[in-house]
Amino acid sequence: MDPLATRPDDENSRLLHRLRTRRRVPDPQTVAFLEQAQESAGGRRTTREMPDAGTVRAMYPNRTEAEIAEMSRYFAELDSAIRPPTRYEGRHHRQVQVYAAQLDEAVARHGRWPAADNPPLFATTESGHGTAAAIRVPHTGDHLVLVDSELLQFLFLFSKAVALAVPAGTPTPDGILRFATEPEEIRANLRRDPQILFRFHDVVLSYAMTGSASRAEAYRVPPATERLYGIVMQSAQTFVLAHEYAHVLEGHLDDGDPGGEHLAPPQWPLPLEGVADRFGFELTLEVMKKAGYDLYFTYWGIELFLSANEILLKAISLLRTGDEHGLRHDERHRQAGFDARRRSLETMLRTDLERASGKATVEAEWDRIGSGLHVVRDIVHILWGETEPLLRKAHADGSRPAVWWDSGG
């Protein structure tokens, strides 16, 4: 599902309006800094064409001709509303601008709009390192939120494989989709359809071995799966950007060193990560609610992002040495960070719920709430359990991680 394609008209026009207000001309020094950063991260000058009807039809094989026509018209309108910040924008850059506009709205609704005429400039890089970072530009003091397009691609394909593992139930008469998410149902589904594990394995292995998630094979999924992964992916990708936006809004970049001169993500201390996660979570929840999705879907996407990163590091470790102890110090540190963030998000949410409904109520209900929240984490756990032996075998057969995972850090 494309989150854009199901918005009612007035929502669409509000979003287009937000996108246009984002089209302010950025400071030339900021643009020069950004272009240099993108170029040194391996970006190439590109002109990216908007998809024509044929491409849209191939992307959304389940849509009717009328829907395809409507989507093509909307894409064209979107294109006229978006100005790429530079000529080096990579894959997914339009989607990033859409997320930025949605986050602006959420920030405004939170009353946290510090400089309405100068929100952070969102841009993509093609470093392939799968990171996102907030940066303060030297001299101009503008803020950038840079996201690697491979990270978005990885989250897209990872969401798709996870959604494929979930058997779809029969929709209710009013069209609400139901999914079977019990571990036993997931396992039975994996036994029934070997394609699921293959897809999961393919995206993890492609990214770990080539440094490019885009190398994984493209494939089509049934409509219910398309809808589920669209929701989870939207939450995951929105959270990546919302977290960085939160670093900016919380003033984490404002002290001391006037901002990174290079693209490596700053290693924030965990307490600051916690602050950015908390605010990032609230912004993501706001965006998702507006699109019609509840807390659970939002949480699924955030856990998907954190789990996907942990899985990637585990895969690199297994390919490098054949066991889980193959990570460098900085990689181990990152992995522990993702794990800690996952745990503290749960604690945060539980504390919030206790404050709202009382400790005893939450205590009594926690098993049910907890298993609902952790659906995606638990599916990823099952998928990883089946994938791990394959990676050990791949190592034994001579497969290794992409060279540049070894040179990074």
Stretch that binds Zn ion, among 226-234, 271-279, 356-364, 384-392 (CB under 5 A): 271-279
Question: Do the Cβ atoms of 236 and 302 come closer than 8 Å?
Answer: yes
- Closer CB to Zn ion, residue 221 or residue 249? 249
Instruction: Please give the Cα distance from 96 to 111 (Å, whole number).
Output: 22
User: Smallest distance, Å, CB 135 to Zn ion?
Assistant: 12
- Closer CB to Zn ion, residue 233 or residue 276? 276
Stretch that binds Zn ion, among 30-38, 268-276, 299-307, 361-369 (CB under 5 A): 268-276
User: Smallest distance, Å, CB 243 to Zn ion?
Assistant: 6
From the number of C-beta atoms within 10 Å of its C-beta (0-12, 13-18, 19+), residue 9 rates as exposed
Residue for token pair 């919380």? 250
Which string of x and - marks every residue 290-309 that binds Zn ion (by CB under 5 A)? --------------------
- Closer CB to Zn ion, residue 276 or residue 394? 276
DSSP H helical ranges for 193-294: 195-210, 223-249, 270-290
Stretch that binds Zn ion, among 63-71, 261-269, 333-341, 387-395 (CB under 5 A): 261-269
Q: Under rule CB under 5 A, which residues in 4-43 are in contact with Zn ion?
A: none
- 263 φ/ψ angles, rounded to the nearest 5 degrees: -90, -10
In the chain, DSSP finds a helix count (H) and a strand count (E) of: 15, 3
- Closer CB to Zn ion, residue 13 or residue 267? 267
- Closer CB to Zn ion, residue 276 or residue 362? 276
Helical axes 9-21 vs 65-81, angle rounded to 10°: 20
User: Smallest distance, Å, CB 171 to Zn ion?
Assistant: 38
One-letter amino acid of 101: A
- Closer CB to Zn ion, residue 273 or residue 310? 273
Stretch that binds Zn ion, among 66-74, 76-84, 174-182, 263-271 (CB under 5 A): 263-271
Question: Do the Cβ atoms of 106 and 287 come closer than 8 Å?
Answer: yes
Verify binding: residue 145, Zn ion, rule CB under 5 A.
no
User: Smallest distance, Å, CB 405 to Zn ion?
Assistant: 21
CA–CA distances in Å: residue 385 to residues 110, 182, 265? 40, 16, 30
Q: Which of 121, 162, 276, 316 binds Zn ion (CB under 5 A)?
A: 276
Stretch that binds Zn ion, among 19-27, 90-98, 275-283, 323-331 (CB under 5 A): 275-283
User: Smallest distance, Å, CB 271 to Zn ion?
Assistant: 11
DSSP H helical ranges for 82-222: 93-109, 149-164, 183-192, 195-210
Q: Under rule CB under 5 A, which residues in 54-113 are in contact with Zn ion?
A: none
User: Smallest distance, Å, CB 252 to Zn ion?
Assistant: 8
User: Smallest distance, Å, CB 144 to Zn ion?
Assistant: 14
Instruction: Please give the Cα distance from 73 to 60 (Å, whole number).
Output: 15
Stretch that binds Zn ion, among 216-224, 272-280, 317-325, 345-353 (CB under 5 A): 272-280
Question: Do the Cβ atoms of 383 and 200 come closer than 8 Å?
Answer: yes
- Closer CB to Zn ion, residue 335 or residue 387? 335
- Closer CB to Zn ion, residue 160 or residue 341? 341
CA–CA distances in Å: residue 310 to residues 213, 249, 341? 15, 27, 11
User: Smallest distance, Å, CB 147 to Zn ion?
Assistant: 12
User: Smallest distance, Å, CB 259 to Zn ion?
Assistant: 15
User: Smallest distance, Å, CB 97 to Zn ion?
Assistant: 21
Stretch that binds Zn ion, among 103-111, 119-127, 274-282, 359-367 (CB under 5 A): 274-282
Between the two ends of the chain, the Cα-to-Cα distance in Å is 35
For the record, the structure tokens of 39 come out as 């170029």
Number of residues that bind Zn ion (CB under 5 A): 3
- Closer CB to Zn ion, residue 197 or residue 263? 263
Instruction: Please give the Cα distance from 167 to 209 (Å, whole number).
Output: 29
Strands (E), 67-158: 121-125, 132-136, 143-148
- Closer CB to Zn ion, residue 89 or residue 273? 273
Instruction: Please give the Cα distance from 43 to 102 (Å, whole number).
Output: 26
Nearest Cα residue to 274 out of 366, 346, 332? 346
Instruction: Please give the Cα distance from 86 to 124 (Å, whole number).
Output: 10
What are the residues binding Zn ion (CB under 5 A)?
Answer: 268, 273, 276
